[in-house]
């Protein structure tokens, strides 16, 4: 059975290294914003927490995608994104449980 491009990426032994590189790259956005404007105030623990969320969430998603059927991939992706956004907003401003 032929693997699709997405399956090749998910099953790659280097996927977790790429996840780390992309996570660190995404953290350059708030870091750069802190240099440009005074309205962004992130501390070291903010960067570490976001790195932990990005890396662990993406890694868990890859591990789940390796185990589940292809028909469930879309639902798993949507659910993962919603859970990530929920945790992020709760940690950022405490919208739901303040």
* pLDDT tens digits along 2-42: 888 888 989 999 999 999 999 999 999 999 999 999 998 99
Q: Which domain holds residue 42?
A: 5-93
**86 CB contacts (<8 Å, ≥6 apart)?**
96
Residue 59 has pLDDT above 80, yes or no: yes
Count of domains for the chain: 1
- CB-neighbour burial class of residue 61 (10 A; exposed 0-12, middle 13-18, buried 19+): buried
- Predicted confidence at residue 98, as pLDDT, reads 64
Q: Are 14 and 59 in contact (CB under 8 A)?
A: no
Domain membership of residue 98 (yes or no) is no
Q: What would the two tokens of residue 86 be?
A: 């929920």
End-to-end CA separation in angstroms for the chain: 51
Domain membership of residue 26 (yes or no) is yes
Q: What is the band of 70 on the pLDDT scale with cuts at 50, 70, 90?
A: confident
């Amino acid at each position: 059975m032929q693997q699709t491009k997405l399956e090749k990426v998910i099953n790659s032994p280097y996927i977790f290294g790429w996840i780390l590189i992309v996570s660190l790259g995404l953290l350059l956005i708030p870091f750069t914003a802190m240099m440009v404007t005074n309205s962004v105030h992130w501390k070291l623990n903010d960067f570490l927490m976001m790195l932990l969320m990005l890396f662990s969430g993406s890694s868990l998603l890859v591990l789940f995608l390796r185990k589940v059927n292809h028909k469930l991939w879309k639902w798993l992706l949507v659910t993962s994104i919603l859970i990530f956004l929920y945790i992020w907003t709760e940690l950022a401003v405490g919208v739901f449980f303040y």
